[in-house]
């Protein structure tokens, strides 16, 4: 079950704003219970001081309240971005990949580090053969490998149409940051940081280290994603905008940031829907593209009302 909290704020001018806090369990230190408790603590007024206290302790709630407080954003010019198809782990991906290719997907995300490396590398070759030529693969290890296994994979991936390898080793292991930097220097295939980027501070930390690979940005989980993205843009960093499995309300805020991103457009990591028992809460992303027209149709007030 996926849990989160919607916030609704009446602004001084009488208009209402909405936001979604959807911390991912195990990703950073936030919990939905803590978010809910903090909302009850705030009472019926949000002052600047109370908001500031949340920036570090509960970034996703700070983010949600900031979204709710902000007026309607600048209208985005009509835009459309590609979406990465999400494939199931193991051999099950072989049945899915050609169907997704027929639907128009050209970037495929596949979870690895689940089975034996030799088996998975063989399946990857079958996957490459099963999708339209020119397609790219994202291999997400979710931190499953040690350095030796990661090296083996990165060397194989370098010879295949792999856009990047995501989080080859776990974010919190001993000297894992040095290992990630070492692996990035040793192999030509780019590495993407996902679990290594759980807070606004992590973005700055990895920029300061000169990280030249991808940053997977789950904007919903950052307190001030706009500021983090401005830093990333200044550094000309490579960014993949990704879902935190939030509902359409939070997805709209994240996707608006993706549409506004000035850098190169990697396919969106938003191929996660349908996700909810009540389809009204699903964000866009069933197909190979998401347009700003679709996110523009998401109605936060209707979602809020759907809860009650």
Active site annotation includes 236? no
Residue placing its CB nearer to Mg ion in the complex, 54 or 183: 183
From 148-156, 163-171, 247-255, 259-267, span contacting Mg ion (CB under 5 A): 163-171
CA distance 195 to 92: 25
Active site annotation includes 265? no
* Interface with Mg ion in residues 23-82 (CB under 5 A): none
Cβ 105 to Mg ion shortest distance, Å: 18
Is there binding between residue 194 and Mg ion (CB under 5 A)? yes
Cβ 251 to Mg ion shortest distance, Å: 17
Residue placing its CB nearer to Mg ion in the complex, 62 or 215: 215
Cβ 238 to Mg ion shortest distance, Å: 15
For Mg ion, the binding residue among 20, 140, 163, 246 (CB under 5 A) is 140
User: Helix axis angle, 225-234 relative to 200-208, nearest 10°?
Assistant: 10
CA distance 131 to 108: 9
Q: Are 82 and 289 in contact (CB under 8 A)?
A: yes
Size of the site for Mg ion (CB under 5 A): 3
From 15-23, 94-102, 133-141, 178-186, span contacting Mg ion (CB under 5 A): 133-141
Using CA atoms of 187, 168, 130, 268 in order, give the dihedral in degrees to the nearest 10.
-100
From 8-16, 81-89, 92-100, 136-144, span contacting Mg ion (CB under 5 A): 136-144
Is there binding between residue 170 and Mg ion (CB under 5 A)? no
Is there binding between residue 20 and Mg ion (CB under 5 A)? no
Is there binding between residue 256 and Mg ion (CB under 5 A)? no
Going 199 to 204 to 206 to 212, the CA torsion angle's sign is positive
Cα angle 233, 186, 142; round to 5: 65
Q: Are 104 and 288 in contact (CB under 8 A)?
A: yes
Q: Which residue numbers are catalytic?
A: 111, 218
Q: Which residues of this chain interact with Mg ion, rule CB under 5 A?
A: 140, 166, 194
């Amino acid at each position: 079950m996926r849990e989160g909290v919607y916030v609704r704020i009446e602004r001084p001018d009488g208009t209402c704003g909405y936001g979604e806090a959807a911390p991912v369990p195990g990703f950073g230190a936030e919990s939905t219970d803590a978010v809910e408790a903090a909302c009850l603590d705030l009472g019926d007024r949000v002052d600047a001081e109370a908001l500031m206290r949340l920036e570090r302790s509960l970034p996703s709630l700070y983010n949600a309240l900031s979204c709710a407080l902000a007026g309607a954003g600048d209208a985005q010019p009509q835009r459309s971005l590609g979406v990465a198809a999400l494939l199931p782990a193991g051999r099950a991906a072989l049945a899915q990949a050609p169907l997704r290719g027929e639907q128009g997907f050209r970037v495929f995300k596949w979870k690895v580090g689940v089975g034996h490396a030799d088996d998975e590398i063989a399946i990857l070759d079958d996957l490459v053969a099963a999708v339209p030529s020119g397609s790219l693969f994202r291999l997400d290890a979710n931190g499953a490998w040690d350095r030796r296994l990661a090296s083996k994979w990165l060397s194989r991936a370098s010879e295949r149409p792999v856009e990047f390898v995501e989080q080859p080793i776990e974010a919190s292991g001993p000297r894992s940051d040095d290992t990630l930097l070492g692996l990035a220097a040793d192999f030509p295939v780019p590495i993407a940081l996902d679990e290594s980027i759980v807070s606004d501070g992590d973005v700055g930390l990895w920029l300061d280290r000169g990280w030249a690979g991808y940053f997977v940005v789950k904007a919903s989980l950052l307190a001030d994603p706009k500021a983090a993205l401005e830093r990333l843009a200044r550094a000309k960093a490579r960014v993949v905008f990704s879902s935190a499995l939030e509902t359409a309300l939070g997805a709209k805020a994240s996707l608006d940031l993706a549409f506004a991103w000035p850098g190169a457009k990697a396919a969106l990591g938003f191929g996660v829907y349908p996700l909810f028992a009540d389809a009204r809460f699903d964000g866009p992303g069933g197909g190979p593209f998401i347009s700003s027209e679709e996110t523009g149709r998401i109605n936060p007030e209707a979602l809020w009302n759907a809860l009650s």
